[in-house]
Amino acid sequence: MTYVDGYVIPVPKKKLAAYKKMAQLGKKVWMKNGALEYFECVGEDLAPKGMTGFPTLVKPKTGETVVFSFVVFKSRKHRDQVNAKVMKDPMMGSFDPSAMPFDCKRMTYGGFKTLVQG
| Domain of residue 71, CATH code | 3.30.70.100
pLDDT at 99: 79
Q: What domain range is 70 assigned to?
A: 3-45+54-93+107-112
Residue 19 in any domain: the answer is yes
pLDDT at 95: 64
Helix (H, G, I), strand (E, B) or coil at 92: helix
- Element housing 37 (H / E): strand 37-42
Residue 117 in any domain: the answer is no
Residues in CB range of 85: below 8 A, 6 or more apart? 33, 34
Rounded Cα distance between 78 and 82, Å, is 6
- Element housing 85 (H / E): helix 76-88
pLDDT at 92: 84
Residue 102 in any domain: the answer is no
| Structural domain total, the chain | 1
Instruction: Report mean pLDDT in 10-residue bins for the chain, 118 residues.
Output: 96 96 94 98 91 88 96 98 95 75 91 94
Residue 118 in any domain: the answer is no
Pairing of strands 37-42, 3-12: unpaired
The predicted model scores a pTM of: 0.91
Q: Find the Cα–Cα–Cα–Cα dihedral 45, 15, 95, 92, rounded to 10°.
A: 40
Residue 100 in any domain: the answer is no
Residue 62 in any domain: the answer is yes
Whether 54 contacts 6, CB under 8 Å: no
Residue 98 in any domain: the answer is no
